[in-house]
């Protein structure tokens, strides 16, 4: 009997063979590891950034924007600068018709000349009145001296008359002719004395009249001087109004908007141009909960949406003393009605480093959106 051994097949035996295990791909393992490591690194970086930095995207480039307005009214005859043009401080932007202001200036000049002529006339009259007063005072002195001299002669004539009359009455010791001569001399001297008194009174009246005239002239001189001062003020105002027909740039910068055309009537105080200065800074609005460790001088990293390839740096220049809501047209009033707590935002002014401002120049424009990172720890 021949027994032959043969391999037993799985089908013959009916036994199940376990499937052979698949090997995991090395590339897949590496990729998963890299992703995990990246996630861990990102988580560490995120936690580090959250702890050391405060960030906000509620930030914008801002600066001084001037509203250029004329100081006089009138029709515009010339517009010299258009929108987006660069201007220098003091540059003429437009001109208002100067004709009526030129007329007012010429009239003011004539008024000054007239007032100056009146002052000169009063000055000449004052000199003349002073001379007359001195002359009248000299006449008084001469009249007083003459009256004193005649008074001495009168006294002497009275003594001589009394002596002659006494001698004549003393048994004819003196001749009658001497008495008559002394009496005649005394009468003549007395007449001269009376005339001299009248001359003195006239001289004194002349002094009083000259003094009164001096007072009148002094009053007229004060009035003329006041009128001249007023005329000069009017001339200065007329000159200023004439100069103001040329509307000039109040600062150097670029024209952002023009609101006027040639031929239009412009009123004093009406905004005709908006001028943006080149100096800019960042106004960032942080939540009040982000200000705990924020201080002036801290370093700031900035990213401008319009300049994604530029990494800017700056520092905190100042922090507002109140939240932005307090400066709103209608500040919130939570004393009445229902209350819902809202996290307030506080404006923070950030100054850009001079090197960044110089490098970017006109590329930094007012109103650009900025993302701000402040290192607080």
At residue 230, the pLDDT reads 96
At residue 50, the pLDDT reads 62
Query: Given a cut of 70, is residue 9 above it in pLDDT?
Result: no
In terms of average pLDDT, the best of 69-73, 130-134, 276-280, 290-294 is: 69-73
Closest CA to 291 of 347, 351, 353: 347
Q: How far apart are CA 373 and CA 179, in angstroms?
A: 132
Higher pLDDT, 113 or 174: 113
pLDDT band at 59 (very low <50, low <70, confident <90, very high): very high
Mean pLDDT of 101-114: 96
Query: Given a cut of 50, is residue 183 above it in pLDDT?
Result: yes
Domain boundaries, the chain: 100-242
Q: What percent of the chain has pLDDT over 70?
A: 87
Mean pLDDT of 80-93: 95
At residue 332, the pLDDT reads 77
At residue 2, the pLDDT reads 44
- HSE toward the beta carbon, residue 225, CA cutoff 13 A: 7
- Please provide the CATH number assigned to the domain covering 100-242: 1.10.287.620
At residue 4, the pLDDT reads 44
Please tell me the pTM assigned to this model.
Answer: 0.66
Mean pLDDT of 95-100: 96
At residue 3, the pLDDT reads 46
Q: How far apart are CA 144 and CA 158, in angstroms?
A: 21
Min mean pLDDT across 102-111, 124-133, 230-239 is at 124-133
Query: Given a cut of 80, is residue 259 above it in pLDDT?
Result: yes
> How much is the mean pLDDT over the chain?
85
Write out pLDDT tens, residues 190-199.
887 788 888 8
Write out pLDDT tens, residues 208-258.
988 898 899 899 999 999 999 999 999 999 999 999 999 999 999 999 999
Write out pLDDT tens, residues 322-376.
988 888 887 877 776 677 788 899 999 999 988 888 888 788 899 999 999 998 8
Q: How far apart are CA 106 and CA 63, in angstroms?
A: 43
Query: Given a cut of 80, is residue 133 above it in pLDDT?
Result: yes
């Amino acid at each position: 009997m021949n027994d032959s051994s043969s391999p037993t097949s799985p089908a013959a035996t009916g036994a199940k063979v376990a499937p052979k295990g698949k090997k995991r791909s090395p590339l897949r393992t590496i990729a998963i590891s890299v992703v995990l490591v990246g996630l861990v690194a990102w988580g560490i970086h995120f936690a580090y950034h959250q702890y050391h930095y405060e960030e906000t995207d509620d930030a914008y480039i801002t600066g001084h924007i001037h509203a250029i307005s004329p100081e006089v009214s009138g029709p515009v005859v010339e517009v010299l600068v258009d929108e987006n043009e660069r201007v220098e401080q003091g540059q003429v932007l437009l001109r208002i018709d100067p004709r009526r202001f030129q007329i007012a200036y010429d009239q003011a000049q004539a008024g000054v000349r007239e007032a100056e002529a009146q002052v000169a006339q009063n000055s000449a009259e004052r000199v003349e009145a002073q001379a007359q007063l001195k002359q009248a005072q000299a006449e008084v002195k001469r009249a007083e001296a003459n009256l004193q001299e005649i008074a001495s002669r009168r006294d002497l004539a009275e003594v001589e008359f009394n002596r002659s009359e006494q001698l004549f009455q003393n048994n004819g010791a003196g001749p009658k002719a001497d008495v008559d001569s002394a009496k005649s001399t005394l009468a003549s001297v007395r007449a001269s004395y009376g005339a001299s008194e009248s001359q003195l009174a006239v001289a004194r009246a002349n002094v009083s009249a000259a003094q009164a005239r001096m007072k009148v002239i002094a009053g007229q001189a004060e009035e003329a001087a006041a009128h001249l001062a007023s005329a000069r003020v009017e001339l200065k105002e007329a000159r200023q109004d004439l100069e103001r027909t040329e509307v000039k740039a109040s600062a150097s910068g670029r024209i952002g908007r023009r609101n006027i055309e040639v031929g239009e009537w412009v009123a004093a105080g009406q905004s005709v141009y908006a001028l943006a200065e080149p100096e800019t800074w960042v106004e960032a609005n942080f939540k009040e909960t982000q200000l705990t460790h924020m201080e002036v001088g801290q370093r700031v990293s900035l990213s401008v949406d319009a300049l994604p390839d530029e990494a800017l740096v700056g520092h905190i220049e100042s922090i507002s003393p109140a939240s932005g809501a307090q400066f709103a047209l209608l500040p919130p009033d939570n004393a009445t009605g229902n209350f819902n707590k809202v996290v307030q935002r506080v404006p923070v002014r950030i100054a850009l480093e001079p090197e960044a401002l110089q490098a970017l120049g006109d590329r930094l424009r007012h109103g650009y959106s900025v993302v701000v990172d402040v290192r607080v720890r």
